[in-house]
Every structure is written in C-alpha cells, then in structure tokens.
C-alpha cells in the first residue's frame, strides 16, 4: 500500500471511530464531548464577584487614538490616491493618458513627487481626523456612562434611606367569624 493510500485509510478509520463514539455517547445519554448528561451533572457553582466592571474611560485614550489613526491610514491612502487620479482625469478632459487606477496603462502619466507627498499628507490628515472622531465618540460614551452610574448610585442610596425610614407594615385585621 502506498503512502497516500495509507494516509487516506487512516483518515477514514479515524473519522469512522469518531462518528461511532459520538453515536455511542448519544445512545448512553451522555452529551457530546464525553460529559455526563444534564440530569447527572452537578449544579454549577454560584456566580462569583468578578470585580469592577471595565469602564470605557479606563482604556488608554492616546494608545487607541494612535491605533485607529495608524489602522485607517492605508485605507485612506488608497481612497486619496484614487480621488486624486480621478480628479486629474476629469480636469484633463477624460484623456486616457490620465486614466485613474484600475484603468491605467503604460502610457498613463505618473504623478510627480510633489503630488505624491500631497497625497500622503492628505491621507495622514484624514487618518488623524478619523482617530480624533473616534476619541470624541469614546469620550462622549464614557461621560454618559459615568453620569448614568452616578445617577444609579444616588437612586440606590435614596432607596436604602427610604427603606430605613419607612414604618413597619401594619398587620392585616383578622377576618370576622
């Protein structure tokens, strides 16, 4: 038997064994994966306190700004290049020597070094703008979450104070015979 034939046979046997084991588990009432069924499984432990909930403003805002700006740069550079090429094509009367990508040919005019630097500068400015917009959106969400959390704490404090001051409930009158 050749090497590929042995490999195919071994793969077929292992798949058949796995399918047989799954069918046997199902017939015995066990859940897939080899665990006992829900009726036999012990109750899950009670949830434990996981500590404070991660807050939106705990994140390093400067690092996120850099990541978003740096990540958006290649996409914005592509769109900036296409926009500049398309603008140059329109300004030159739809001349095929100025066709934008993906319609460029070997006769298409190449941009000058100054045009390339302008394109990169526009893409950098746009990516920094995207990072700033993301920062302000996150800051707004963090401020709303902080106000909501503060209102909830004040409300729960008022509820506790109200429960302490409330008189005990009066017993219900006994029914007449």
- Delimit the domains of the chain by residue range: 58-161
pLDDT category at 92 given cuts 50, 70, 90 is very high
Low-confidence winner among 27-31, 59-63, 162-166 (lowest mean pLDDT): 27-31
Distances (CA, A) of 32 to 21, 59, 173: 9, 40, 59
Least confidently predicted of 42-46, 50-54, 73-77: 50-54
For residue 99, pLDDT beyond 60: yes
Segment among 24-38, 78-92, 134-148 with least mean pLDDT: 24-38
Average the pLDDT over each of 72-81, 97-106, 121-130, 160-169 and give the range with the smallest value.
160-169
In angstroms, the CA 27 to CA 25 distance is 5
Whether 72 shows a pLDDT value over 50: the answer reads: yes
How many Cα atoms sit within 13 Å of 15 on the Cβ side?
6
* Separation between Cα atoms, residue 38 and residue 148, nearest integer Å: 40
Q: Which phi-psi region, left, alpha or beta, contains residue 51 (left: φ > 0; alpha: ψ -120 to 50)?
A: left
- Which of 42-51, 54-63, 65-74, 111-120 is least confident? 42-51
Least confident of 25-29, 57-61, 85-89, 96-100: 25-29
**Would you state the pLDDT for residue 50?**
47
* 149 has pLDDT over 60: yes
Q: Which residues make Cβ contacts (< 8 Å) with residue 98, sequence separation at least 6?
A: 85, 88, 89, 92, 108, 109
pLDDT level of residue 152 (50, 70, 90 thresholds): confident
pTM above 0.85, yes or no: no
Average pLDDT over the chain, rounded to whole?
Answer: 76
pLDDT at res. 79: 95
Gap between the Cα atoms of 35 and 33, Å rounded: 6
Per the model's pLDDT, the better-predicted residue between 37 and 143 turns out to be 143
């Amino acid at each position: 038997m050749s090497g590929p034939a042995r490999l195919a046979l071994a793969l077929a046997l292992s798949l058949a064994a796995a399918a047989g084991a799954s069918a046997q588990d199902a017939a015995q009432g066990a859940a897939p994966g080899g665990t006992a069924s829900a009726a036999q499984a012990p109750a899950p432990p009670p949830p434990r306190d996981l500590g404070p909930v991660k807050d939106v403003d705990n994140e390093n805002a400067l690092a996120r700004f850099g990541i978003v700006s740096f990540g958006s740069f290649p996409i914005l550079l592509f769109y900036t290049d296409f926009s500049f090429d398309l603008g140059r094509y329109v300004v030159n009367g739809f001349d095929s020597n100025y066709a934008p990508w993906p319609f460029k040919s070997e006769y298409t005019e190449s941009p000058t070094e100054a045009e390339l630097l302008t394109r990169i500068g526009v893409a950098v400015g746009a990516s920094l703008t995207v990072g700033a917009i993301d920062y302000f959106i996150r800051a707004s969400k963090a401020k709303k979450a902080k106000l909501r959390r503060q209102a909830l704490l004040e409300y729960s404090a008022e509820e506790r104070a109200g429960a302490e001051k409330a008189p005990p409930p009066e017993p219900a009158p006994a029914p007449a015979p």
